Amino acid sequence: MILQRVFALTLLAACAALAVMAWPYQAAFSYEPVGPRAFPLLMLGLMGAGLLYLAIRPTAIVRKDDEPELDRDTLRKVGLCVLLLLVFASTFESLGFIVSSILIGVPMARLYGGRWLPSVMIISLMSIGLYWLFDRVMEVPLPLGLLTVLEN
């Protein structure tokens, strides 16, 4: 309940900030009665009203049977996983696809309960295989990064 209130109020604050941001949006010269400002403001207004109602009267969260309560341990794991994804995004171009996906794939596999040796083997094979499949066969260009040296 409290979480939901906090979430609704945070989003409400974001709505207000975005509305302030949208206020100066005006076409330099216009040939239509509705400018670029009206629609986003309308949406933000409606969203704000809904969120306000939600903050005052939060609805019960229905959990599925197999969904455990969030505990500190899971939250730590979620945080780690997000961190890994961020590392992936930031090294994607500089280190290249193969290196960066091995770099984050192995710890991620560990996070989901894999053992070291099989994780390293499978993830390495997968990243090379996926690179070959996408870059070479399907012609989706992927950065090679560090491994450019090996080309030619």
Partner 1 sequence: MDTLGYLGQGFGVALSPYNLVTALCGTLIGTVVGLLPGLGPINGVALLIPIAFALGLPPESALILLAAVYLGCEYGGRISSILLNIPGEASTVMTTLDGYPMARKGLAGVALSLSAWSSFIGALIATCGMVLFAPLLAKWAIAFGPAEYFVLMVFAIVCLGGMAGDKPLKTFIAALIGLFLSGVGIDANSGVYRFTGDSVHLADGIQFVVLVLGLFSISEILLLLEKTHHGHQAVKATGRMMFNLKEAASVFVVNIRCGVLGFIMGVLPGAGATLASAVAYMTEKRMAGASGTFGQGDKRGLAAPETAIGASCCGALVPMLTLGVPGSGTTAVMIGALTLYNITPGPLLFQQQPDIVWGLIASLFIANVMLLILNIPMVRIFTRILSIPNWTLVPVIAIITAIGVYAVHATTFDLFLMIAIGIFGYILRKLDFPLSPLLLGFILGGLMEQNLRRALSISNGGLEILWSSPISLTVWALTIVMLTLPVVRIWRKRSLQRRALADV
Give contact residues for partner 1 (rule: CB under 8 A): 3-4, 7, 18, 21-22, 25-28, 30, 32-36, 39-40, 43-44, 46-47, 50-51, 53-54, 59, 61-62, 66-68, 70, 74, 77-78, 81-82, 85-86, 88-90, 92-93, 97, 101, 104-106, 108-114, 119, 122-123, 126-127, 130, 134, 138-142
Instruction: Write down the least CB distance from residue 148 to partner 1, Å.
Output: 16
Closest to partner 1 by CB, 104 vs 144, is 104
DSSP 112: T
Three-class SS state of 92: coil
Give the DSSP per-residue string, 8-72.
Answer: HHHHHHHHHHHHHHHTT---SS-SSSS-SSHHHHHHHHHHHHHHHHHHHSPPPPPPPTT-PPP-H
Q: What is the dihedral of CA 132, 134, 137, 139, to 10 degrees?
A: -130
Sign (positive/negative) of CA torsion 17, 23, 24, 27? positive
Closest to partner 1 by CB, 111 vs 146, is 111
CB atoms within 10 A of CB 118: 10
Instruction: Write down the least CB distance from residue 25 to partner 1, Å.
Output: 5
What tokens were used for 30?
A: 């216009």
Closest to partner 1 by CB, 74 vs 148, is 74
Instruction: Write down the least CB distance from residue 73 to partner 1, Å.
Output: 10
Instruction: Write down the least CB distance from residue 118 to partner 1, Å.
Output: 8
Closest to partner 1 by CB, 34 vs 149, is 34
Instruction: Write down the least CB distance from residue 114 to partner 1, Å.
Output: 3
